Structure 1
Amino acid sequence: MKHNNTEKSIPKRPRRGIYILPNFFTSMNIFCGFYAIISSINGRFTAAGVSILIAVVFDSLDGKIARATNTTSKFGVEYDSLADLISFGLAPGLMIYLWALKPLGRIGWLAAFLFLICGALRLARFNTQTGSVDSNHFVGLPIPAGAGMNAVIVLFCHRFGMNNSVNPILIFIIMNTLSFLMVSTIKYNSFKKPELFKKMNFNVLVGAVIIFIFIAAEPSIALFLMGLIYVISGPIGSLKHLKNAKHNTTNTPKPDKKKA
């Protein structure tokens, strides 16, 4: 008796519906960035800062979800870069300008534009270096970290009632410093090493719980301190690396030169 061979196993096409998930998180990233822009225009700078921080969370989730579900694509990479430019370049630049730099006039909005253009250059360099550099470190300050630092500065000043007494020159210096760090070659930890989470001992776990409690109790202060530590960790690490390299060079024994 012959069997019907019409129902042979046919290669199934990959389900494209699953690609919606990471791109949805990227879309929420853009939404938070756009909401931050609207909030800044309306003078609601605290809401703008919170929106940028939420965008940072969505930005970290979309890549992890894409890798976990094996749905990474070139479209997703390009879409993510465009979202980052809006949420972490345009939104914080406009927020800081309207919040503190507007009294400086042309110099103020040029500083905000410099942050935006350096963020765009940082994203373009990151996309071209993917796969060719060590994934354990970022080359230059990541643009989400730069945007997040701007956001926590606003929240920190609001926490202590300094919104109306903030020094525009100080904010101007901070903005230009963050812009320089983004396009620099200073290395920052990417926290992508699996060993950081697999080999966590009891003391580290207790420390993580304490940090979480600190964030829950005083989010503005805790996030500001964490952001500041991360921003300065790059230059400090580079200085230590240069110092160690110089020390190793001076202590290297020179070969004896014997006369012929």
Structure 2
Amino acid sequence: MEARRQRFRRIPVRLLLPNMITLLALCAGLTAIRLAFEQKLEWALAAIVFAAALDGIDGRVARMVKGQSKFGAELDSLADFVNFGCAPGLILYLWGLHDLGNVGWIVAMVFAICGALRLARFNVMIDDPNKPLWAGNFFTGIPAPAGALVVMLPIYVDLVGGPKVGSTPALVYTLAIGLLMVSKLPVLSGKRVGKRVDPDVVLPVFVAVVLFFALLIAYPWWVLSIGTVVYLASLPFGWHTYREYQRHDAEAAAAQVAHVDASAAPPLQPPDEHGERPARLN
């Protein structure tokens, strides 16, 4: 009876809250697929953006309420594969890649597979004890939520009334973003940015956040288009910053080795009566 009580003990609500947010994001991703089949692309894109927003807060909520669990981590990865791998690939295929027949479907499928590989590698590398502390500032490759939002740039351009993006350029672009997701390109994560806010900038931060969401609601496709271009333009900066960290580590390691070698060297022998020092014995 005691073992049964331990098996069916009550679970704190704080452990359920992050998983409920993840499941809500999964519902948004699945709904986006349905809306894409119904040719309601604007609502499908909105559902993906909503899923990305929920994905950005479920982990933070879990850390705030101390509700992290291995089950939640696995559920989050499965939801991300559907929301940011399968759903964007299907939306792009139904939007324009289907004009290329089997080739368009293969590229959409490759993007979804790249999302799965990206998530699997993230789960493996997250507990790497050998990575330096500053490595937490970077992702390896474009993260899945960002890749899902970035890869749909041709649809954003189409919705804002820009030049029509052909199926072939969209195919090449989709394949390139998928490869960037599984690449080893260091990308700034932003996880450690904004944890502390200076009291003098609290009100400006509130104004900036309200302004951003107001623009996103009023001009969603313009905001997403500009945000995508800015994000892609920031990738070289992340790579340069990563190289600077590596260079500083290499210089520190070289200085430490030089210090150890200098301290391990035998002291010089005093000169003899003729003013000559004896040769060192190796």
With the shorter chain as reference, the TM-score category is: 0.7 to 0.9
Q: Give the distance between the partners of 1:200 and 1:154, measured in 2 at CA.
A: 40
Q: Kindly, what percent of the aligned residue pairs are identical?
A: 34
1:18 deviates by 2.1
Of 28, 32, 56 in structure 2, the residue corresponding to residue 32 of structure 1 is 28
The count of corresponding residues between Structure 1 and Structure 2 is 233
- 1:5 aligns to what? none
In structure 1, the residue matched to 2:124 is 128
Indicate if the aligned counterparts of 1:186 and 1:235 stay in contact, CA closer than 8 A: no
Rounded to whole Å, the distance in 2 between the matches of 1:139 and 1:201 is 34
Matched, 1:53 2:49: yes
What's the CA shift for 1:235? Answer: 3.5
Unaligned runs of 5+ in 2: 1-8, 248-282
Q: Equivalent of 2:80, from 60, 79, 84?
A: 84
Give, in angstroms, the shift of residue 100 of structure 1.
1.1
> Which residue pairs with 1:175 in the alignment?
174
Q: Which amino acid aligns with 1:125?
A: R
Using the size of structure 2 for normalisation, the TM-score is 0.73
2:189 corresponds to: 190
**In structure 1, distance between residues paired with 2:246 and 2:190:** 24
Q: Is the 8 A contact 1:93 1:116 kept in 2?
A: yes
Q: How much has 1:169 moved relative to structure 2?
A: 1.1
Q: Is the 8 A contact 1:152 1:220 kept in 2?
A: no
Secondary structure at 1:198 match in 2: coil
Q: What TM-score, normalized by structure 1, do the two folds share?
A: 0.79
CA distance in 2 between counterparts of 1:192 and 1:22 reads: 18
User: Structure 2: which amino acid aligns with 1:188?
Assistant: V
Question: Equivalent residue for 1:224?
Answer: 225
Q: Does 1:158 align with 2:159?
A: yes
Aligned partner (choices 63, 66, 73) of residue 67 of structure 1: 63
Deviation at 1:22, TM superposition (A): 0.5
Q: Give how far 1:154 is off.
A: 2.1
Other structure's SS at 2:136 match: coil
Corresponding residue to 2:107 among 104, 111, 114: 111
Question: What's the CA shift for 1:219?
Answer: 2.2
Contact persistence 1:53–1:151 (CA under 8 A)? no
Task: State how 1:201-240 maps to structure 2 within 5 Å.
Answer: 202=201, 205=205, 211=212, 214-238=215-239
Distance 1:103 1:65, change over 3 A: same
CA contact (8 A) 1:100 1:166 kept: no
Q: CA deviation at 1:218?
A: 2.1
Residue 139 of structure 2 aligns to a residue whose secondary structure is strand
Distance (Å, rounded) in 2 between the aligned partners of 1:217 and 1:42: 24
Task: Tell me, in whole angstroms, the C-alpha distance in 2 between the residues paired with 1:83 and 1:52.
Answer: 12
In structure 2, how many angstroms separate the alpha carbons of the residues matched to 1:239 and 1:136?
13
Name the CA distance, whole Å, in 1 between partners of 2:10 and 2:197: 32
CA distances 1:101-130 after superposition (whole Å, capped 9, x unpaired): 001111101110110111101000000111
**Highest CA radius of gyration, 1 or 2?**
2
| Cα pair 1:55 1:87 within 8 Å, conserved | yes
Higher RCO (CA 8 Å, separation ≥ 6 residues)? 1
| Structure 1 gap ranges (5+) | 1-12, 247-260
Amino acid at match of 1:157: D
AA aligned opposite 2:151:
N
